[in-house]
Amino acid sequence: MSSAINSVRSPLEPSSFSRKSAATLIIIYAFIALVPIAWMVMTSFKSANDAVSYPPKVVFEPSMEGWVNLFTQRSRQSKEYLKSLPPPETWYEELVRSRQMVIAGPSRFLGRFLNSLIIGFGSTFLSVFFGALAGYAFSRFKIPLKEDLLFFILSTRMFPPIAVAVPIFLMYRKLGLSDTHLGMIILYTMVNLSLAVWLLKGFMDEIPLEYEEAAMVDGYTRLQAFFKIVIPQAMTGIAATSIFCMIFAWNEYAFAVLLTFSEAQTAPPFIPTIIGEGGLDWPAIAAGTVMFLVPVMIFTVVLRKHLLRGITFGAVRK
């Protein structure tokens, strides 16, 4: 009898069996998804030998070698020369000397990483800004040929962006936009804009017109109402759109290889070049990849709150 009472539950609630199996599935999936990332983080703290040892080492002596290698350029020297040098001043100099090398200077990684940040965030901001303006216009105004325009905007996403690589390459060379931050920002903005317009139009359609009307009656112009009322309420949509745009711009490889070589080169085309610099330096590559992962992860985690809030936001009374 008591078991019968225990099993009483609302038909809308999942049974404890299905809840448990769902949890198990999620844990298994998270584990599978996280193993490569965990392995990458571990590799970045291994010594060069440990990184390639077989069977693979799970327990190892941590070393900062990969990280030091990532940020420095080194040159191999004879033992005699190393002995003639004054004792190393820092722990990383010591580490490099123990591998019979000296630090020749900083590597180009930090610059490439900064390029990635500038181009990634710059293009994300512009995509979302213009996407919000265009999405609002499409959502609120009577625009002749609205459906066709929207379809046209979407159609730019119907082919892979790289399909237009050659014309863009030629155009950029003529315009002097090759290997510039501005050029890359424009390019990624262009690719992301169609997505941003569609997503944000959808989110803005959900915001009742009355809020803006209330603001306009209260003495605000339409543009002021847009910034004070529409934008704050579209935050969920803006967060989601930003994440999508950011991930694309951050990870983009093909155009970056094609259009950037030094000044504006981003991290994705740079990281593979580490391989060529001093043999297969797996710990340095892993360190570079970990670094590369961090900003987009922080960005997503910060905006995640907005994403979750969007689901539970219940202030609109319909």
Partner 1 sequence: MVEIVLQNIQKNFGDFIAVKNSNLKVKTGEFFVMLGPSGCGKTTTLRMIAGLEIPTSGNIMLDNNNVTSLRASQRDIAFVFQLFALYPHLNVEKNISFPLRMQKMKSSEIKERVREVSQLLRIEHLLKSNVSTLAGGDRQRVALGRAIVRRPAAFLMDEPLGTLDTEFREKMCLELRKLHNRIQATTVYVTHDQTEAMTMGDKIAVMNQGKILQNGTPNEIYSKPRSKFVGSFIGSPSMNFIPIDSAIEKGATSIFIDGNEFNIPEQHEGTIADKNFIGIRPEKMTLSENQGISGEVYASEYLGTRNVLTINTEVGQFKVRVSKDIKVSPLENVKISFDSHSGIIFDGTSDKALQSAYMTI
Contacts to partner 1 by CB under 8 A: 208, 210-211, 213-221, 224, 229, 232-233, 235, 313-318
Distance from C-alpha of 34 to C-alpha of 38, rounded to nearest angstrom? 6
**74, amino acid identity:** R
Q: Is the Cβ of residue 75 or residue 224 nearer to partner 1 in the bound state?
A: 224
Q: Is the Cβ of residue 14 or residue 208 nearer to partner 1 in the bound state?
A: 208
Distance from C-alpha of 88 to C-alpha of 91, rounded to nearest angstrom? 8
Distance from C-alpha of 91 to C-alpha of 169, rounded to nearest angstrom? 45
Shortest gap between Cβ of 303 and partner 1 (angstroms)? 16
**How big is the CA angle at 61 (ends 59 and 63), to the nearest 5 degrees?**
130
Shortest gap between Cβ of 148 and partner 1 (angstroms)? 20
Shortest gap between Cβ of 232 and partner 1 (angstroms)? 4
Task: Take residue 198 and report the two structure tokens written for it.
Answer: 């569609």
266: left (phi over 0), alpha (psi -120 to 50) or beta: beta
Shortest gap between Cβ of 219 and partner 1 (angstroms)? 4
Distance from C-alpha of 106 to C-alpha of 68, rounded to nearest angstrom? 10
Q: Is the Cβ of residue 83 or residue 318 nearer to partner 1 in the bound state?
A: 318
Shortest gap between Cβ of 136 and partner 1 (angstroms)? 17
Q: Is the Cβ of residue 204 or residue 285 nearer to partner 1 in the bound state?
A: 204
Q: Is the Cβ of residue 20 or residue 309 nearer to partner 1 in the bound state?
A: 309
Shortest gap between Cβ of 252 and partner 1 (angstroms)? 33
Q: Is the Cβ of residue 207 or residue 245 nearer to partner 1 in the bound state?
A: 207
- Report the chain's C-alpha Rg in angstroms: 26
Shortest gap between Cβ of 150 and partner 1 (angstroms)? 21
Size of the chain in residues: 318
Distance from C-alpha of 269 to C-alpha of 261, rounded to nearest angstrom? 9
Shortest gap between Cβ of 243 and partner 1 (angstroms)? 20
**How far apart, in Å, do the first and last CA atoms of the chain sit?**
44
Q: Is the Cβ of residue 106 or residue 208 nearer to partner 1 in the bound state?
A: 208
Q: Is the Cβ of residue 235 or residue 258 nearer to partner 1 in the bound state?
A: 235
Distance from C-alpha of 302 to C-alpha of 295, rounded to nearest angstrom? 10
Distance from C-alpha of 150 to C-alpha of 198, rounded to nearest angstrom? 8
| Strands annotated E in the chain | 72-76, 101-106
